[in-house]
Structure 1
Amino acid sequence: MARSAAQNLTAGGRLANTKRLVLWSVVLVQVCFIACIWLLQSNHNQLQLQSTSNKNRLELDVGRVHFVQQARQAKKSLASSHCQRSENINRYQQDFFQMKIDRMNRSADYAMPAYMDMDLAPTLWCYSEGTLNESRQGRNSVDYLLAQPQCLCASGWHGRDCGQPEIIWRALMTHSRASKRGGNEAPLKLHEASSTSLKRLYYILNLGAWEHINMELLELQLRTLIKVVDIFLIYYYVRDSKDRLKRRTLERQLDAIPIPSYLLYQCEGGQNPGNCSGAATYSYFRHQLWARCGVQMQPTDLLLYGNGGTVYAPAALKYLKYFATDVLPLRFRVKHNVYGFYWQHPQLARLDGVISSLVHLHNAQLDPQRLERQATYTLGDLNHFGGWSCELCMPPEQIVQMLTAKETGNSPHIRMPNETRSSRIDADYIQQLIGAGILLDGHTTLQRLRQQSEKYYAPPTALLYSSQFGQFLVNLYDTNTLDDVQEDED
């Protein structure tokens, strides 16, 4: 019986072990099954993540290409508007240089001041155009015990930094005497030039009717002020509102110069060019500067308004940009030339154009033409001109076309070649007047000018590019002048 009980106990133990083995096997199978499911799910997630990454990368590449295309389109649009390809507002480093004290230039009688040895001397910036060459002997031979160092000015330049041209210096003296006598306000409020107090100069250039534009004179105007004016605002008027070819022709010529930045306005004045008023053109340019160029005019910025026949002196304009905080409306007394810079009108000079701080334009109802009429101060005198007015400086054929046009009712009295009814003005007759120095009225005699004896014979740009602007410098219809030129070349 005891043996039977032992056998039953052994059989029960085996059964229990078998049950445990089966249970552990089931658990192991479940764990393996769960592991397989987890691996499959992990692999699926990895494939999905890789697919999403590729898709995002593709979208990013597409977006990048789209961004580049937008940038190129914006660049193309900017180029078509001719805005801010470069500006002259920040040319301080090019126009001024820092004066260097020569430490070897010591006197044997006394030592340099302590502030010079300790590098405590105030920084002095000299205006490059008005200062003699840095390497010139005696430049730094200054008695430092008695005076601070100063720039060595060239002839016709004034001020501690040699930035004040003769025309400005004389204008300031004239207005100073007038203000002391009458108590009038000074036309200029000045400060020391610095790289932090900069302003823009806008030039509204009224070319008049398209038929009367002289492209060579226009190029001379632009090249003369190409390093002074920040944005040229050029407009003219046409009679045919559907004519777009003129605008494209002028744009190609302007791009060939090239000028820094400009806006072009073709005013469709119809039969009455007076419809293109100064207020309307200023409003148009102001809106276009903001809409197409992103430029906001500031009250301290300068506005120059002139016509297609006047070349303004760049030295005076650059001085106003650097040294003037407020400019009351100033008219320019310019040299009155006729046919070219070789003939001068008996009146010698004329008032033309205006420059002012933009804040004063509100007093003229935002009309530059009204601002010119209201200006009471002048810049320049009979010995130092603020520019050159070149009346009838165009080919004889273009003068004939201008005289025969219907819109020239305000032209001066014209004398016909003879008293016959069949008499008419042609290019040969105009050439005779130019060669002899006779005005179109037939009796006013012009004064002959020679480059060798005239300080302000012509704009420096015309003299620098004499081969390009020779028709303004030499009378091509005067045999005596041509003989003199031939002798000089020989």
Structure 2
Amino acid sequence: MARLFLHGRMKMQRHKFFFFCALALCVFSQLHNYKALHHMPILSELYASSVNALSFLWRGKGNPSNNAHPERRPLPGPVPFDTGLWEPEAYREDQGNAEDLWRKEQPDSGNVNRMTVTLPDPKGPLEELHKRSFHLSDDPTQFFVRTKSGAYCFIEGTEMTYLKDHLGQKVQEPGEGQRKILHAHQEEPKSAQEKTAWGKRLVKCMCRPGWHGPHCGIPTTVQHSNLPTKARLTLREVPRRVINAININHEFDLLHARFHELADAVDLFLVCESNFTAYGNSKPLHFLRLLLNGTYNYVHHKILYVFLDHFPKGGQQNGWIADDYLRTFLSRDGMSRVQGARPDDVFLINDADEIPAREGILFLKLYDGWTEPVSIHMRKSLYGFFWRQTGTLEVLSVCTVAMLFTVYNGDGILLRRREYYSMPGFRNYQRESGHILVQWSIGSPVHYAGWHCSWCFRPEGISQKLISAQNGDFPRWGDYVEKRDLNYIKGLIRTGGWFDGSLGEYPPTDPKEPMYAPKYLLKYFQLYRYILDNPYA
């Protein structure tokens, strides 16, 4: 009898043990599911010590606690604007050890071609542009104004009729044409009442059409996006810095459009030029010439020139090797020369014919709470903005600097692919940051957040693109002499046809429609008429 009693008791204890194990597993699973559904760092305190591991990405100096959480730092005092293309030598920091990810040696390209090119005199006033560093500074622009009633409003998104600053003075209205961010006096809240207005209980701002949220700082392209954390967006006290990386061949008119569209949202443009085409033929450094002759003086203080002086091994046989390597070299060489970047700064990589609208980029700069990586829905067009294609081009283009290095190993081409969840650093980055990585898109198929203008050149430019194209996107139309004929190309522009003889279906367009083209091009319509209005129709 006693033996049966002991056996039953042991059996009950085993059942209790398994019951409590199952209960603990259930609770842990529910916590993880809650975190995944709401994208909230529930276990952030457990990860706090791990977050410091990202500090190796910081180039700034000072209080480590401030570095770990830049969004919690007080607003800085006035910062002078940069006056030149590059920071003085005194700003350069210690190079650090060889293991620093920021200064990781470039992968062996196995280059098969090199050619001698004329670069700026190393002893001249411009020195070697392709070797200089760039020091990122906080953006001194005042994007918001505190009204007399206590509301804290995004100036561009607020109705000027109702907008007065804290002194009761009416804030000047934006100028026509360009999307300009206004400058108004901004003070950090001092009283408890002001801090409440800064935080959750706000006197509402009167939003203009196209802007949303209590501060009128959320554009329609975000409001109507698939961002899963819209309810938890908060303003940053210190804006992120935005780095836009692009490769350039001969898309110089679109480059002007990009610079004018994004100049007040982007803090640094990494522009990579090679003395080889994507096919492997040598070519002149046209962008460098324009940069040196003053063509881009209006934005030259935000440009870091990246020079690719070799062609990757195997790139002539397999054009995709060359195509990928352009972005790999751009991001790794360019970012290795950027100083002062923080883990939560924004890295944006585009092709030269992809121009994001500034509203979405400003949102990433000014708000916390969005997830990553981020893609952008762009209006698609062919030969010019007049041939609008159906749907949108959704390009994965954005992540934080921390994700770029921790997940993508500093390689921009990996960001443009949709395989971040299979990257070796994916789980590690989630664990250290305390955030679930969820891809989302700025814009939607009916709310354009940028423009993709493919083959948008004059006939001579299209012929040049045919010759320069990589040896991988078959059929390679540049191999056919008749396809490079200017009269044949003019016929394609006139009809919207393709090189294989097919005709696309295009909905009607009007230059007055929203998001027809970047505002800079529309402002100088006659100058850029060849891509705004069909010249052969």
- How do 1:442-461 and structure 2 match up within 5 A? 442-451=501-510, 454-461=513-520
- How do 1:81-480 and structure 2 match up within 5 A? 89-91=139-141, 93=142, 95-101=143-149, 123-134=150-161, 149-171=203-225, 174-176=226-228, 186=229, 190-194=233-237, 197-207=238-248, 210=249, 213-239=250-276, 246=286, 248-252=288-292, 255-270=296-311, 272=315, 273-274=322-323, 276-289=325-338, 295-324=339-368, 327-346=371-390, 348-361=391-404, 362-374=406-418, 376-405=439-468, 407-411=470-474, 423=482, 425-451=484-510, 454-478=513-537
Matched-pair contact (CA < 8 Å) for 1:83–1:261: no
Deviation string, structure 1 residues 284-303 (Cα, Å, up to 9, x no partner): 122222xxxxx222101100
CA distance in 1, matches of 2:475, 2:442: 27
Q: 1:475 to 1:274 in 2, by over 3 A?
A: closer
What TM-score comes out, normalization by structure 1 length?
0.63
1:481 matched residue in structure 2: none
What TM-score comes out, normalization by structure 2 length?
0.58
Matched-pair contact (CA < 8 Å) for 2:151–2:202: no
Q: 1:327 to 1:203 in 2, by over 3 A?
A: farther
SS of 1:90 mapped into structure 2: coil
Deviation string, structure 1 residues 233-278 (Cα, Å, up to 9, x no partner): 1113223999775463142355334344111112123373357353
SS of 2:380 mapped into structure 1: strand
Report the alpha carbon displacement of residue 199 of structure 1 after superposing the two structures with TM. 1.7
Aligned AA for 2:473?
A: N
Aligned AA for 1:278?
A: R
Report the alpha carbon displacement of residue 89 of structure 1 after superposing the two structures with TM. 1.8
Matched-pair contact (CA < 8 Å) for 2:246–2:351: yes
2:97 matched residue in structure 1: none
CA distance in 1, matches of 2:401, 2:474: 32
Matched-pair contact (CA < 8 Å) for 1:342–1:448: no
Q: 1:230 to 1:423 in 2, by over 3 A?
A: closer
Matched-pair contact (CA < 8 Å) for 1:397–1:426: no
Matched-pair contact (CA < 8 Å) for 1:187–1:329: no
SS of 1:255 mapped into structure 2: coil
Q: 1:351 to 1:148 in 2, by over 3 A?
A: closer
Report the alpha carbon displacement of residue 445 of structure 1 after superposing the two structures with TM. 1.8
Report the alpha carbon displacement of residue 475 of structure 1 after superposing the two structures with TM. 1.2
Q: 1:300 to 1:477 in 2, by over 3 A?
A: same
Matched-pair contact (CA < 8 Å) for 2:234–2:368: yes
Q: Give the root-mean-square deviation of aligned CA atoms.
A: 3.7
With 387-396 and 236-245 compared, the bigger mean Cα shift is at: 236-245
Matched-pair contact (CA < 8 Å) for 2:129–2:305: no
Report the alpha carbon displacement of residue 409 of structure 1 after superposing the two structures with TM. 3.9
CA distance in 2, matches of 1:281, 1:261: 16
Report the alpha carbon displacement of residue 400 of structure 1 after superposing the two structures with TM. 1.8
| More helix per residue | 1
Aligned AA for 1:380?
A: G
Deviation string, structure 1 residues 337-366 (Cα, Å, up to 9, x no partner): 1111111123x2112241111111211222
Q: 1:410 to 1:269 in 2, by over 3 A?
A: farther
CA distance in 2, matches of 1:422, 1:412: 13
CA distance in 1, matches of 2:285, 2:220: 44
Matched-pair contact (CA < 8 Å) for 1:438–1:446: no
CA distance in 1, matches of 2:478, 2:284: 36
Q: 1:405 to 1:202 in 2, by over 3 A?
A: closer
Aligned AA for 1:190?
A: L
SS of 2:259 mapped into structure 1: helix
Q: How many residues align?
A: 351
CA distance in 2, matches of 1:85, 1:451: 43
Report the alpha carbon displacement of residue 190 of structure 1 after superposing the two structures with TM. 2.9
Q: Tell me, which stretches of 5 or more residues in structure 1 are unaligned?
A: 1-69, 102-122, 141-146, 177-185, 290-294, 479-490
CA distance in 2, matches of 1:193, 1:413: 48
Q: 1:96 to 1:438 in 2, by over 3 A?
A: same
- Identity among equivalent positions (%) equals 21
Aligned AA for 1:397?
A: E
Q: Tell me, which stretches of 5 or more residues in structure 2 are unaligned?
A: 1-88, 91-121, 169-200, 316-321, 421-438
CA distance in 1, matches of 2:409, 2:147: 45
CA distance in 1, matches of 2:473, 2:500: 14
SS of 1:321 mapped into structure 2: helix
CA distance in 2, matches of 1:203, 1:414: 31
Q: 1:307 to 1:97 in 2, by over 3 A?
A: same
CA distance in 1, matches of 2:492, 2:515: 24
Matched-pair contact (CA < 8 Å) for 1:340–1:473: yes
Matched-pair contact (CA < 8 Å) for 1:131–1:153: yes
